[in-house]
Chains A and B, each alone.
Chain A
């Protein structure tokens, strides 16, 4: 499986290198080339701003063969980096890949261009469940690329049965000193609220305070708050239970059959990386053509084969080997997925509420 590790945490630390890479791309995008014309013929070029190891091996070359458009891909390591880069205006990117929450942040801030569905006929390949998500009703601003779900990765030989409840991470000393949680404030507080019986979105300050108290109590049993490298902690036996994304755990499960993953019965947070066109993109026609190409069944299967993330593309999924299609880690059962939801961006007040709660938990 591709590594979200290289995708997120490693580059995150290697801030300098990551900035270097993306600056290169940004500079390429600047300059006279940016003066694209709307409507008329566009230069046969495209600036694609993507996560590391997040495209098929031959996809970009195949697209050039099929359309004549050369794709320049530059990489970012975190949504924050993407957001910071585009915050002051688009430096020349045509297609970007923000996660759901950032789609919801960037669209109202005028940082995205609406997507013309007439130019993306391959949208028909996408599973209906992904066509009307709460973060982008009607898919006005974004097209689904991959999705993920948070759950518990665990070492079978060290855990009694299947730990299918958040209780084992948030509210129990049974696995003390062998638990790792995410350090991401919003995710952690929301999952705590879910465990206490509240919905993922609309967490009030009172509920956040309850979750905070619960996690401060739980902290002495927690070994680490990880920066999205939980799969490494699990694989190296530093911990036996870890709050992580299914894609990350599936990746280490290939090398260690003693590992498994479960989405707790209370439900969880989903996450989806989306294809978007940033406002001010110099070549919107090429961008639409490229997005449509990525949603093609064969192309999507080629991408999934390389990156091995869950795909929302039903037609592409059907072309994948059964080991991928039938993998309950990559595609958890529908009954569980029905209790999952995307974490919405609920404004700066809520963001501050979550951050402060997290700072207090860590400082307690």
Chain B
């Protein structure tokens, strides 16, 4: 099939593009616009929000308090993304090199968690990590067995739940498929003869991996990092349920503005701060990929 410019087939083009465009407009741009207007408004009384056009809410988001929360969120999202990258790359590589049927099954396995609601999975994770949860029971059992032969102190349950560690574990669990899939897509296209050439020319496995596979997969890495980092940054359920006293992320603060604090304008401004940062990250990625092409 030869490609033809869209201007030669305006009718079909409009038919194909119309519905998604309407969808984007009605269910994305308009609601976002409303939230944006809220962010420039002020609360009057209990139920009224008055548009003032002022930037007071945004000024308030620059308070070190909220910047600190934002920084903490970025830190947790960054740790999650890095761990997903390290864990996801070998998985993606294995799937890309698997044969026929096995490849299909491995891909299904990666996507399988999506069939269960996030809340249910998070509760399941709580049952695994809690003080008397599955991990601590297993470790405790092994410990008491070992204590029969070795002089060990009494078993102290590991603090696995209600801390930042648990939040990062929970986020890795949720986000890993989003890292594996783009990495797989990039590695699957990899020309195998390049690897063979590298090995033939005397490079070892690690050097081949590092100098051939990783550079080829780089676009996949970048998209994987972006679609892992952004949802982690705005995660709210995971820190709420798995986190400890200081696992407060920016989405938790935003949620409280819309609920208990009844301060929709400030909550909207905080949401948009998060969005501006996301746009910045995407713009940086755009610049980067353009430079790469040039």
**Chain A, interface SS category:** helix
Q: Does B161 contact A (CB under 8 A)?
A: yes
Q: CB distance A13 to B246 under 8 Å?
A: no
Residues of B within 8 A of A105 (CB): 46
A236-B130, A236-B131 given as contacts; is B241 within 8 A of A109 (CB)? no
Q: CB distance B130 to A362 under 8 Å?
A: no
Contact with B along A80-116 (1 / 0, CB 8 A): 1001100100000000000000000110110100000
Q: Does A227 contact B (CB under 8 A)?
A: yes
Least CB separation from A348: chain B residue = B43
A351-B260, A355-B261 given as contacts; is B245 within 8 A of A223 (CB)? yes
Q: Does B47 contact A (CB under 8 A)?
A: yes
Residues of A within 8 A of B237 (CB): 13
Q: Does B274 contact A (CB under 8 A)?
A: no
A109-B46, A184-B260, A185-B260 given as contacts; is B132 within 8 A of A236 (CB)? yes
Which residues 185-222 of A have a CB within 8 angstroms of B?
Answer: 185-186, 219-220, 222
Q: Does B244 contact A (CB under 8 A)?
A: yes
A108-B46, A237-B132 given as contacts; is B245 within 8 A of A362 (CB)? yes
Contact with B along A278-293 (1 / 0, CB 8 A): 0000000000000000
Q: CB distance B245 to A219 under 8 Å?
A: yes
Q: Does A238 contact B (CB under 8 A)?
A: yes
**Chain B, interface SS category:** loop
Contact with A along B28-45 (1 / 0, CB 8 A): 000000000000000101
Binds A, one of B64-72, B105-113, B225-233: B64-72
Question: What CA separation (Å) do A224 and B246 show in the bound complex?
Answer: 9
A236-B130, A237-B131 given as contacts; is B46 within 8 A of A359 (CB)? no
Which residues 222-278 of A have a CB within 8 angstroms of B?
Answer: 222-225, 227, 236-238
Q: Does B188 contact A (CB under 8 A)?
A: no
Please give the number of chain A residues whose Cβ is less than 8 angstroms from any Cβ of chain B in the complex: 37
Q: CB distance A355 to B47 under 8 Å?
A: no
Contact with A along B98-142 (1 / 0, CB 8 A): 000000000000000000010100100000001110000000000
Q: CB distance B162 to A359 under 8 Å?
A: no
* Chain B nearest Cβ from A258, distance in angstroms: 14
A236-B130, A237-B132, A352-B263 given as contacts; is B240 within 8 A of A227 (CB)? yes
* Chain B nearest Cβ from A350, distance in angstroms: 11
Least CB separation from A83: chain B residue = B262
User: Among the listed A13, A220, A224, which residue makes an inter-chain contact with B162, where contact means beta carbons less than 8 Å apart?
Assistant: A224
Q: Does B293 contact A (CB under 8 A)?
A: no
Which residues 305-364 of A have a CB within 8 angstroms of B?
Answer: 348, 351-352, 355-356, 358-360, 362-364
User: Among the listed A14, A78, A111, A359, which residue makes an inter-chain contact with B248, where contact means beta carbons less than 8 Å apart?
Assistant: A359
Q: CB distance A223 to B119 under 8 Å?
A: no
Q: Does B256 contact A (CB under 8 A)?
A: yes
Q: Does B259 contact A (CB under 8 A)?
A: yes
Residues of B within 8 A of A352 (CB): 261, 263
Question: What CA separation (Å) do A364 and B68 show in the bound complex?
Answer: 9
Q: CB distance A14 to B46 under 8 Å?
A: no
Q: CB distance A13 to B47 under 8 Å?
A: no
Residues of A within 8 A of B248 (CB): 359, 362-363
Q: CB distance B246 to A219 under 8 Å?
A: yes
* Chain B nearest Cβ from A26, distance in angstroms: 17
Q: CB distance B262 to A348 under 8 Å?
A: yes
Question: What CA separation (Å) do A111 and B162 show in the bound complex?
Answer: 39
User: Among the listed B46, B69, B256, which residue makes an inter-chain contact with A185, where contact means beta carbons less than 8 Å apart?
Assistant: B256
Least CB separation from B257: chain A residue = A355
Q: CB distance A351 to B261 under 8 Å?
A: yes
Question: What CA separation (Å) do A161 and B110 show in the bound complex?
Answer: 51
Question: What CA separation (Å) do A288 and B3 show in the bound complex?
Answer: 70
Q: CB distance B162 to A238 under 8 Å?
A: yes
Q: Can you sample 10 A-B contacts with CB below 8 Å?
A: A14-B119, A106-B46, A111-B47, A185-B260, A237-B131, A238-B162, A355-B261, A360-B65, A362-B245, A363-B68
* Beyond A355-B261, A363-B65, 11 extra complex contacts between A and B, CB < 8 Å: A14-B117, A109-B46, A219-B245, A222-B245, A236-B132, A238-B161, A348-B43, A348-B262, A358-B256, A362-B248, A364-B246
